[in-house]
Amino acid sequence: MNRRGTTAVAAGGLLALAGGLAHALPAATVLPTVRLRWFPRLSGRGAPDHVALTFDDGPDPASTPAFLEVLAAHRVRATFFLLGRMVARSPALAGELVAAGHEVAVHGWSHRNLLLRDPGTTYRDLARARDVIAAASGRPPVRYRPPYGVLTGSGWTAARRLGLRPVLWTCWGRDWTATATAGSVLATVRAGLAGGGTVLLHDSDCTAAPGAWRSALGALPDLLAGCAARGWRVGPLAEHFGTGQGPKTQCQADITQSVWRR
């Protein structure tokens, strides 16, 4: 190979390396230490008197209605990051979420790691999910959370093209495991939660251990009560990124005794 050919091969290798880095580097935000320190908005940091409550992997007719009942009883709304394939199976349930005042958002079509997907496949996955969610719920989604919290360069670009804003989380309940309990979920969330945080739970076990959603459901009443006792409003991401004090929910007005430190 002559010098010109060698140079071309080297240049091609550098371009491939640059493309690979551009694709993979944003995935570093899956690490809490990275996103919480350097990307607070992406991590879901919002108004200090507010906590955003979010659920992934639904809608699931076997479990989501139970979460809606608890949220309705506490007069709390949330953001549901929906999988397109789950919406396609239960489109009416997506409509029920919006009718109840909840926010719907995109979690992709299927729960696959974006690191393993090329730009074209990533875009088609997000676009397909966005369209089916909008059609079923009557509300075009504006937020996106990648499966496993792994945001790639291709995922970021696709989301921007589709008018979707990526949002991860500040704390979670580890409620997808077979050993999770209501107590373990509550303790795990509580350890990382502060005013302005975004909580990640799951209202479906379609990508988790069978029945795992029951641990999140069991933790939810005490989680809401604990937030209310600390003066934190709980609601969807749609109202999370403002500033200043908002009106208290009925849950806050009714609760006079903290259950946060049980």
Q: Exposed, middle or buried, 15 (CB in 10 Å: 0-12/13-18/19+)? A: exposed
Q: Please say if 202 is a catalytic residue.
A: yes
Residue of 23, 56, 107, 240 with catalytic role: 56
Query: Could you list the residue range(s) of the whole structural domain that residue 182 is in?
Result: 23-254
pLDDT tens-place string over residues 71-128:
999 999 999 999 999 999 999 999 999 999 999 999 999 988 887 878 899 999 999 9
pLDDT above 60: residue 14: no
pLDDT above 50: residue 12: no
Residue of 50, 74, 107, 202 with catalytic role: 202
Looking at the domain assignment, is residue 119 inside a domain?
yes
pLDDT above 70: residue 261: no
Q: Can you spell out the DSSP letters for 177-241? A: STT--HHHHHHHHHHH--TT-EEEEES--TTSSTTTHHHHHHHHHHHHHHHHHTT-EEE-GGGTS
Looking at the domain assignment, is residue 87 inside a domain?
yes
Six-digit token string for 260: 């946060």
Structural domain count, the chain: 1
Angle at 214 between CA 207 and CA 206, to 5 degrees: 15
Q: Which residue has the tokens 């640059």?
A: 18
Q: Which residues contact 131 (CB under 8 A, 6 or more apart)?
A: none
Looking at the domain assignment, is residue 14 inside a domain?
no
Q: What percent of the chain has pLDDT over 70?
A: 81
Q: Are 80 and 97 in contact (CB under 8 A)?
A: yes
Predicted TM-score of the model (pTM): 0.84
Looking at the domain assignment, is residue 12 inside a domain?
no
pLDDT above 50: residue 164: yes
Q: How far apart are CA 48 and CA 97, in angstroms?
A: 26
Looking at the domain assignment, is residue 3 inside a domain?
no
Please report, for the domain that includes residue 225, its CATH number: 3.20.20.370
Q: Place 4 in a pLDDT band, splitting at 50, 70 and 90.
A: low
Looking at the domain assignment, is residue 65 inside a domain?
yes
Looking at the domain assignment, is residue 71 inside a domain?
yes
Q: Please say if 102 is a catalytic residue.
A: no
- The residue type found at 253 is A
